[in-house]
Structure 1
Amino acid sequence: MTLHHFILIIHLLAATIWVGGHLTLSIVFLPSALRKKDPNIILNFERKFETLGMSSLITLVITGIWMAYDFGVTIDTWFTFSGSFEKVVSAKLLLLFLTIICALIAQFKIIPNLNEFNIKKMAVLIISVTLIGVTMLILGSTLRYGGI
């Protein structure tokens, strides 16, 4: 096993936790919270998942950048969209920034005032981050075949 393969395995495990956690939140907990208009269902999940989820996200960023460099996609070529790998890395970085924006909005605007009246705003962010995560997973899988 090469170092790159080991880093890929760590990246995939972190993606499993990050995307799987958001899919669980979106599919299992969010519908119940919306039906009952109970923001505590979301908040309880977030409290339990936050440490593991954020650790996974940080791991994804570190291992993703490491593997990008292994593929020759350095900071100089980010956002050039010049080649197949650059397109995937650049798209994933843009989606990462979008994820961070969603997280900041949730953390500073919605969660401090989360109640039965604005729970749908939180639902939009949860579904958005989940779809972004799934999209990043799909984009990453294209690298196996040369990128997009």
Structure 2
Amino acid sequence: MNHHLLLIIHLLSAAIWVGGHLLLCFAYLPQAFREKDPKIILNYERKYEAVGMTSLFFLVTTGIMIAYKYGVSIHFWFQFASPIEKVVSSKLILLLLTVAFALSAQFRVIPRLKNDSTHLSEMIFHIVSVTTIGVLMLIFGSFIRFGGF
């Protein structure tokens, strides 16, 4: 696939993924915190999940394809030998952290939150963490333009 088309799909997916999390952080979390109502977060998550997970799928897929176009195949992941490898490997570590937070939220925090709103602060921590990671991934990706870091 053409590099430019991959980049466009990657950037649109990043806009949806990071934008959706920023919206959650700055619009829905404060309201949920003020009202001590986890349903505000859970309702947003339920509506956003299909779009968000689809964009994440495209982000990962196009990210790997773009990495290969830059010569960073799986054999070079986590070697941190070249500036581009550093960016790719750093983003992969951040992706693994995102997956860890998502699994923790899905199987541990959300089930408890549905029955007990005292776990709201733990959910807020997960959301802010994933949002911060998403923004960092976006910033790290921008370094590709300059040859890496």
**TM-score, length basis structure 1:** 0.98
User: How many residue pairs get matched?
Assistant: 147
Query: Which residue number corresponds to residue 129 of structure 2?
Result: 128
Deviation at 1:116, TM superposition (A): 2.0
Moved over 2 A (4+): none
Q: Which amino acid aligns with 1:130?
A: T
Determine helix, strand or coil for the equivalent of 1:118.
helix
Partner of 1:78: 77
Partner of 1:111: 110
Query: Which residues of 2 match residues 53-68 of structure 1 at below 5 A?
Result: 53-68=52-67
Letter in 1 for 2:37: D
SS at match of 2:118: coil
Return the alpha-carbon distance in structure 2 between the equivalents of residues 32 and 42 of structure 1: 9
Q: Which amino acid in the other structure matches residue 40 of structure 1?
A: K
- Normalising by the residue count of structure 2, what TM-score does the alignment of the two structures yield? 0.97
- Structure 2 counterpart of 1:80, one-letter code: Q
Instruction: After superposition, give the CA deviation of every residue in 1:61-105 in whole Å (9 maximum; x if it has no partner).
Output: 000000000000000000000000000000000000000000000
Alignment RMSD, CA only? 0.8
Matches of 1:38 and 1:107, distance apart in 2: 18
Percent identity between the two aligned chains: 57
Partner of 2:143: 142
Q: Identify unmatched segments of 5+ residues in structure 1.
A: none
CA distance in 2, matches of 1:77, 1:7: 21
Distance 1:91 1:46 in 2: 27
Tell me how far 1:113 sits from its aligned partner.
Answer: 1.3
Output one character per residue of 1:22-70: Cα deviation in whole Å (capped at 9) or x when no partner: 0000000001001100000000000000000000001000000000000
C-alpha separation between the residues in 2 aligned to 1:118 and 1:34?
11
Aligned to 2:5: 6
Q: State how 1:90-105 maps to structure 2 within 5 Å.
A: 90-105=89-104
